Amino acid sequence: MDAETAQTVKAGFLSAVPFARTLGVEFTELDYGRAVLRLPDNPDHHNHLGGPHAGAMFTLAESASGAIVIGTFGDQLNRAVPLAVRAEIHYQRLAMGIVYAEATLGRDREEIVGELDAGQRPEFTVEIELRAEDGTVSGQMTVVWTLKPNS
């Protein structure tokens, strides 16, 4: 993805998702099929143990998955709407401080667009790993997305 496209996706995403802006979610990397977002350490968003609230971590991970979808399928938005179908998250250990979410697309873009071309409503997964600043994995999430053809 070229720098101009990446900047457009980042700005558009943060404009369209006010809750991510409220939490201070930031992009650190964005390319086709991969995104890394960062959740700053903010005491206003802590849980009862002093780490980021589970809802904030869910939002970070879901935002990383959405960034991939917009970045990878932005050229398809004139004919289909991306929708999250379901999500499953596993909190594996207490996160403290800054948290990163690294998301990767679970299927090949051309295969998904091919299904859309064939008149189908493709579904695909985005896998997200939540990590502390030192690289310790604190959770994993899977989001199933669809591209719903416009009527």
- CATH number for the domain spanning 103: value is 3.10.129.10
Structural domain range at position 125:
3-149
Could you tell me how many residues make up the chain?
151
pTM: 0.93
Strands 80-91 and 137-149: antiparallel
Cβ atoms of 6 and 71 closer than 8 Å: yes
User: Going residue by residue through the chain (151 aa), what tens digit of pLDDT does each one get?
Assistant: 788 888 888 888 888 888 999 999 999 999 888 999 999 999 999 999 989 999 999 999 999 999 999 999 999 999 999 999 999 999 999 999 999 999 999 999 999 999 999 999 999 999 999 999 999 999 999 999 999 999 8
Q: Enumerate the β-bridge partners of residue 143.
A: 87, 126
DSSP state of 127: E
Distance CA 113, CA 122 (A): 8
Distance CA 60, CA 27 (A): 10
User: Could you give the number of structural domains in the chain?
Assistant: 1
DSSP 48-89: TTSSB-HHHHHHHHHHHHHHHHHHHHGGGTTTEEEEEEEEEE
